[in-house]
Amino acid sequence: MATDLAQGFAQQIIATKQTFAPLDQIYLTNLIYRLVGEENLTVAQLPDEILTTAANLVTAAVKNQKIADTVSDREILEAQLTDLFTPTPTAINETFWQYYQISPKTATDYFFNLSQANDYIKTKAIAKNISYKTPTEYGDLEITVNLSRPEKDPKAIAAAKSVPETNYPKCQLCLENEGYTGRANYPARANHRVIRLRLSGESWGLQYSPYAYFSEHCIFLSAKHEPMHIDQKTFTKLFEIVKLFPDYFVGSNADLPIVGGSMLTHDHYQGGRHDFPMAKAALRQTFTLPAYPEIQAGIVDWPMSVIRLQSQDIEALINCSTHILKVWQTYSDPTVTVFGVVDGVLHHTITPIVRQKAGQYTIDLVLRDNQTSKAHPLGIFHPHEDVQHIKKENIGLIEVMGRAILPARLKTELQEVARYLLDQPNTMKAYHQVWADALKAQHTFTTENVETILNQEVGLVFKRVLEDAGVFKNDATGRSAFERFLKVI
């Protein structure tokens, strides 16, 4: 029996018991007609999945000329349709904090599952990502090629040029994104919701990342649109978060260009339910801090320069972290090209990561330096030129912890590298040539082993990327320099 998609979608929305009741069915159906049109809606059978029905309605809307056939217009309409079965911010926040009384995990499970069910978290797109592990002397590094974000098509790019300039929302992390329709040059957020919470007396929000890089990848964002900054208040808020959500780790990108993340204009942190390689790494050595006898301290056996502090005393950890930050900000060691301040410009900061287990709190302090030079114009402690064919972008919080977020271009580019390694016709990019020739000299490639070896070698390049970003190298000179810094703190 033929079914009208709009009527069927209205029934599916009511069945979720999230937003509309049976009495609303006619009103809801007419609302859907308003969005997608009334033609091209007859199907032999209604899809079982509500998100599939929504996708079919978007296709019908294109046929009905209600929207243009562009990625942005499709995403905007899809978010408007899924918003119909997404509870209001008030309802979601009330439910979240009711569940929180049962347990923090019960609350985050509720919000995470809802964010998947309404397709705010792009589960199907995320599944396209390439992901594997590479064994190294530092443990298994996690390699991902990010294929989840849709490519902008030419129509969307052209349409974006004609969109009037606007300062609303100020950025993609502002609270004003909650329920925002979107436009050709700005993502759809009609189905977006934020959990409100208080950190150190300030208004903050919790949301999940639509294109998650790991399990339950979430973002804690300030209600104020103000720049990223690392200071004592930062450490305090990070510990407050892991007290609120003990199953999650939380960390902050650095607050300086080159060594920071991609969103330095809005103060925010990232967290989630994932054990990163750096968290699993052992200590290379331990040391004592006489002013903080309650803290166990050590250097993490990791390609970047990481100090790990552990204690049950949160206040001591905050004070000690603040002390190390302040010392590091002005610290210089010319023997290893480390300069905290040059011509009045600050070059040093920290990438902090906090987690807890059974009342024992851990903070990893990753030392960062954003200097540039003629030899390394993109950054002395940034992926160097010989590895930028794989990774050229900033090394942010996630990569610091051992999970590579590699660009989508590598999917097809590495296929061409594989053909080159097998002496097959190829269109390999010239910037892979030196690396590919070195691989040819090291390995004997066959059609059976080329992908495995290539994946391993990409992982080893990522290890080199992290080593480039380390301010004190893991060699005799670097270890001695690290020891000198420890004496200062």
Structure tokens of 82? 């899924």
| Strand partners of residue 220 | 206, 269
pLDDT band of 164, cuts 50, 70, 90: confident
**Half-sphere CA count of 349, side-chain side, radius 13 A:** 25
**pLDDT tens digit sequence for 34-60:** 999 999 999 999 999 999 999 999 999
- pLDDT, position 1: 66
Q: Looking at residue 298, what is its pLDDT?
A: 98
Rounded-to-integer distance, Cα 451 and Cα 53, Å: 38
Tell me whether strands 296-300 and 249-251 are parallel, antiparallel or unpaired. unpaired
Percent of the chain with pLDDT over 70: 97
At 261 the pLDDT is 79
The share of the chain scoring above pLDDT 90, in percent, equals 94
Instruction: State how far the alpha carbon of 450 is from the alpha carbons of 153, 243, 439, 469, 485, in Å.
Output: 33, 46, 10, 29, 44
**Averaged over 445-452, what is the pLDDT?**
98
Half-sphere exposure (Cβ direction) of 147: Cα atoms closer than 13 Å:
14
Which residue type, as a one-letter code, is found at position 317?
L
Instruction: For residue 338, list its beta bridge partners.
Output: 333
What is the structure's pLDDT at 262?
79
Structure confidence by residue, pLDDT tens digits, 94-108 = 999 999 999 999 999
Measured CA to CA, the distance from residue 178 to residue 40 in angstroms comes to: 31
Is residue 352 within 8 Å of residue 364, measured between CB atoms?
yes
Sign of the C-alpha dihedral, residues 428, 434, 436, 441? positive
Residue 371 is given by DSSP the state: -
Q: Which of 161, 150, 169, 147 is nearest to 78 (CA)?
A: 150
Of 25, 23, 19, the C-alpha closest to 6 is 25
Of 352, 348, 142, 385, the closest CA to residue 235 belongs to: 352
pLDDT band at 291 (very low <50, low <70, confident <90, very high): very high
Residue 112 has pLDDT above 90, yes or no: yes
How distant, in Å, are the alpha carbons of 72, 195, 461 from that of 205? 26, 5, 36
7 has pLDDT over 70: yes
Residue of 210, 215, 19 whose CA lies nearest to 120: 210
Q: Is the pLDDT confidence value at 160 over 80? A: no
Instruction: Grade residue 437 by pLDDT with cuts at 50, 70 and 90.
Output: very high
pLDDT at 422 exceeding the cut of 70? yes
* pLDDT range class, residue 149, cuts 50, 70, 90: confident
Q: Which residue has the higher pLDDT, 245 or 163?
A: 245
